[in-house]
């Protein structure tokens, strides 16, 4: 082989390798990026959920071609850092510093997307999580303060209230949710014109909860479980409290959140909608 032929062949091979590498990189480049914030302290049920979520979301990210990062450093909730992500998730709690709160509000008011689970909406005054953020609890979420909950964590029959929303489209009329501690709220979400309720507890669930305290067992009432605010790209889901063996102090996990096919698909649909992958 002549020197010229060798050089041409080498250059051609290098070009093919480079093209193939770039094509592979493009094919595997995430189509959007997700960042989840968590605290995972104090309540073992919430810690269990956070660990479960941080195992489940990467698998879903791989299947649906997005990237998933998680952090317990709430200082990353700043405008510069959030620009890298198309969707923010609060797995538990919420930001407490004024700078973090301002950055999140700016993110949401400028096209950002958010998904929140269970305790991320909790607020009760007085408590360690007082209602001291009106924009978030009253305007953004619409729920206001926490009012009460069921106990123990049990499954509930949920009814789908909006079969046209991308998150809940094609879902059955009713389905059994994973065991959960269900919340009620001081604000009546149905009276808020900005709130679109997607799921609520069906009356077939009652009595819901096992006690032992009577008020921890619901016998009637209206309890929204998932909703969105029409002025923001957001969705709140009350899921996120696994059952734990507190009584025997083993902290053994007695239930899980992400082992429910229908509920999991709702969460996947919500992610894709929030990231503008569904209309």
pLDDT reading at 56 higher than 70: yes
Q: Give the pLDDT score at 42.
A: 81
CATH of the domain at 153: 3.40.50.880
Q: Specify if 83 maps to a domain.
A: yes
Residue 1 lies in a domain: no
Identify whether 12 is part of a domain.
no
Give the DSSP letter of residue 226: E
Reported confidence tier of residue 236, pLDDT bands at 50, 70, 90: very high
Average pLDDT of the chain is: 91
Mean pLDDT of 93-113: 98
Could you list the residue range(s) of the whole structural domain that residue 268 is in? 30-274
d(CA 65, CA 55): 16
- Domain count for the chain, please give it: 1
Which region among 12-26, 40-54, 116-130, 146-160 has the lowest average model confidence (pLDDT)? 12-26
Inside any domain, residue 22: no
pLDDT score of 248: 87
The verdict on residue 183 lying in a domain is: yes
Is 130 within the bounds of a domain? Answer: yes
Q: Can you state the angle between helices 44-64 and 261-274, rounded to 10 degrees?
A: 70
What mean pLDDT do residues 89-112 have?
98
How far apart are alpha carbons 177 and 105 in whole angstroms?
31
pLDDT at site 102: 98
Q: Is residue 165 part of a domain?
A: yes
- In this prediction, residue 24 has a pLDDT band, given cuts at 50, 70 and 90, of very low
Taking the C-alpha atoms of residue 116 and residue 223, their distance in angstroms, rounded to an integer, is 17
Q: Over the stretch 209-223, which tens digit does the pLDDT of each residue have?
A: 999 999 999 999 999
Question: Is residue 190 domain-resident?
Answer: yes
Predicted TM-score (pTM) of this structure = 0.89
Per-residue confidence at 19, pLDDT binned at 50, 70, 90? very low
Number of neighbouring beta carbons within 10 Å of residue 45: 24
């Amino acid at each position: 082989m002549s020197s010229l032929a060798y050089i041409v062949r080498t250059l051609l091979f290098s070009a093919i390798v480079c093209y193939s590498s770039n094509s592979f990189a493009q094919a595997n480049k995430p189509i959007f990026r997700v960042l989840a914030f968590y605290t995972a302290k104090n309540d073992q049920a919430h810690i269990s959920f956070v660990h479960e979520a941080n195992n489940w979301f990467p698998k879903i990210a791989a299947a649906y071609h997005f990237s998933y990062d998680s952090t317990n450093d709430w200082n990353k909730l700043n405008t510069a850092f959030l620009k890298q992500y198309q969707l923010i998730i609060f797995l538990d709690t919420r930001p407490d510093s004024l700078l973090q709160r301002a950055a999140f509000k700016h993110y949401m008011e400028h096209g950002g997307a958010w998904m929140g689970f269970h305790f991320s909406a909790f607020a009760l005054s007085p408590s360690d999580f007082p209602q001291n953020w009106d924009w978030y609890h009253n305007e953004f979420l619409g729920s206001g303060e926490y009012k009460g909950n069921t106990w123990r964590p049990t499954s509930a029959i949920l009814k789908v209230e909006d079969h046209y929303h991308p998150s809940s489209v094609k879902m059955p009329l009713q389905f059994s949710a994973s065991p959960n501690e269900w919340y009620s709220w001081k604000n009546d979400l149905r009276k808020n014109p900005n709130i679109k309720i997607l799921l609520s507890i069906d009356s077939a669930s009652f009595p819901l909860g096992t006690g032992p305290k009577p008020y921890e067992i619901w016998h009637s009432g209206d309890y929204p479980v998932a909703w969105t605010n029409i002025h923001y790209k957001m969705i709140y889901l009350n899921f996120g409290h696994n059952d734990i063996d507190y009584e025997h102090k083993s902290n053994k996990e007695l239930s899980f959140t992400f082992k429910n096919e229908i509920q999991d698909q709702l969460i996947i649909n919500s992610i894709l909608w929030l990231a503008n992958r569904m209309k």
